[in-house]
Structures are given as C-alpha cells and as structure tokens.
Amino acid sequence: MAAAQQPGGRRSDPNIVALLSLKLLLLGFFILLNALSQYEEDRARKVLESVNEAFNGRVDALESHAPYPAGLGPFEETAALIGSVGRLFRSQIPAVRSEVSAGGARLRLEVPAETLFQPAAAKLRPGHDLLLRRFAGALTDDGRVGLDYEVELLHGVPAGDTARLAAAPSEAVEVGRMGALARAFARRGVPVEKLSIGTLPGRPGKVVLVVQVYDARRRAPDYLGFAE
C-alpha cells in the first residue's frame, strides 16, 4: 500500500498512526489498572478498620480529657531520688555498680566489700561518714511528699556457704557487717523499720544495697525487677 502524498511532496506513513493508537491504548490500560489498585486498597483499609473496631473494642473519644493533675508527680520525684542516690555512690566509690529497674523505682547498688569494711572485720572503714550521711539525707528529705522507701542491705556469700551461716548467723562476719551498716544508717536518721539486712548467695565479696521507692498513697512496689 502506497503512502499518501502530502502537499509539499512529503509522504505520511499510516503505521505511525497505528503505533500512536497502540501507545494510547496501553496508557489508558495502565491508568485503569492504577485506579483499580487504589480503589481496592481503600476498600481493604476500610474493611480492616471495621474489623479492628469490632474485635478490639476500641471507641474513639468524642472529647479530650486533661491528664490526672498529680499523675506525673510521684514518678518525677521517684526518678529524682533514685538518680541522686545512684550518683552519690558513683561519685564516692568509683568501683560501684548501679542498676535501675525497668520501672525506675528500684535502685540496686553493688559495692566491693573491702571498700566499705575493714579486712575480715565487721567495722566500717573510716572516711565514709559523708557518704552515709548524704545517703541518709537523700532518703529522709522532707521535701519529697508522697514517697515512701525501703532499704535492703545484703552481703554476698559463696553459693555453698549457707550451712555455715545457718549454724551460727550471729558469728558470721557478713551478717555483722550488715548490722553495722544498718546501725550507721539508723544513727543518721533512717528509721529502723525501713531497713532490712541479709546475705546474698553467689556474690562473695560484694555488698548490695537495694533502694525501693513507693508511692505512699498506694504502697505499690516496682515488681519489674532486674535482669540477671
């Protein structure tokens, strides 16, 4: 088939028109596919939202409510108390190991026993009076309203040494050391009922102090604990 003669001597190719028509058809086809895919995505999203509302029991609030005014207060005070006690020990005893529970209301301090006590004796080393006084002062600060606390004093012992401690606990140096430490805190203002002493199997040569802070209105301890 001969190409049509155009004015001016140029020839038009009919295949160009067919090729352009094919491209236009392909373009329209892809536009249609894109529109269908977006439409199906919107329908799927609406179905998922409907299922979530039906099975999760979630109801969107129709009005906003202000948070409970005192809701954040005890948590901020707890964090401040735990942080100050931890920094105090870290600044005075470089070898101390501190760990805060996931809930932020429990502090665990692990100190080498020889940094606090005289060798093989239940007497505190001289020079720790400032540390003990500041520790007691941080706990007994009257400015922290609504908080209560407990302090647990533990001396590490070998894992297989329980028989010796059970036979004569009053003669054990580890128990005597924790008693001396508890009396030192009591003399500096920490109430005796806030203190408890004991031993910790598997951590020989270590002294562990656990400070647990409570909301005094609820007395709800932080049970999240520590990772072993």
Average pLDDT over residues 47-54: 61
- When divided into structural domains, the chain yields a total of 2
69 pLDDT more than 90 = no
Same domain assignment for residues 47 and 150: no
- Rounded CA separation 140/167 (Å): 36
User: Among candidates 131, 81, 129, which has minimal Cα distance to 111?
Assistant: 131
66 pLDDT more than 60 = no
Q: Which of 21-35, 77-91, 183-197 has the highest mean pLDDT?
A: 183-197
Distance of CA 98 to the CA centre of its chain: 14
Same domain assignment for residues 203 and 146: yes
Same domain assignment for residues 126 and 175: yes
| pLDDT at res. 145 | 67
Does a structural domain hold residue 93? yes
Amino acid at 50: S
pTM flag (> 0.75)? no
| pLDDT at res. 189 | 92
Same domain assignment for residues 79 and 192: yes
67 pLDDT more than 50 = no
162 pLDDT more than 50 = yes
Tell me the pLDDT of the chain averaged across its residues. Answer: 76
- Rounded CA separation 189/192 (Å): 9
Does a structural domain hold residue 7? no
pLDDT tens, position by position, 98-124: 888 877 788 999 999 998 999 989 999
| pLDDT at res. 142 | 65
- Rounded CA separation 173/17 (Å): 103
Range of 24's domain? Answer: 14-53
Same domain assignment for residues 77 and 182: yes
Same domain assignment for residues 138 and 191: yes
Using left for φ > 0, alpha for ψ between -120 and 50, and beta otherwise, residue 57 falls in left
Does a structural domain hold residue 61? no
Same domain assignment for residues 136 and 38: no
227 pLDDT more than 50 = no
- Rounded CA separation 210/151 (Å): 6
Q: pLDDT > 90: what percent of the chain?
A: 22
Same domain assignment for residues 93 and 167: yes
Does a structural domain hold residue 228? no
- Rounded CA separation 50/121 (Å): 71
CATH of the domain at 200: 3.30.1330.60
∠ CA 141-144-148, rounded to 5°? 90
Model confidence band, residue 8 (pLDDT cutoffs 50, 70, 90): low
| pLDDT at res. 1 | 45
**Structure-token pair, residue 198:** 């004991």
- Rounded CA separation 36/211 (Å): 62
In the three-class reduction of DSSP (H, G, I as helix; E, B as strand; rest coil), residue 122 is classed as coil
Same domain assignment for residues 113 and 48: no
Does a structural domain hold residue 3? no
Distance of CA 138 to the CA centre of its chain: 22
Same domain assignment for residues 132 and 165: yes
In the numeric block, the tokens 């299922």 are attached to 51
| pLDDT at res. 7 | 55
Same domain assignment for residues 191 and 85: yes
Q: pLDDT > 70: what percent of the chain?
A: 68
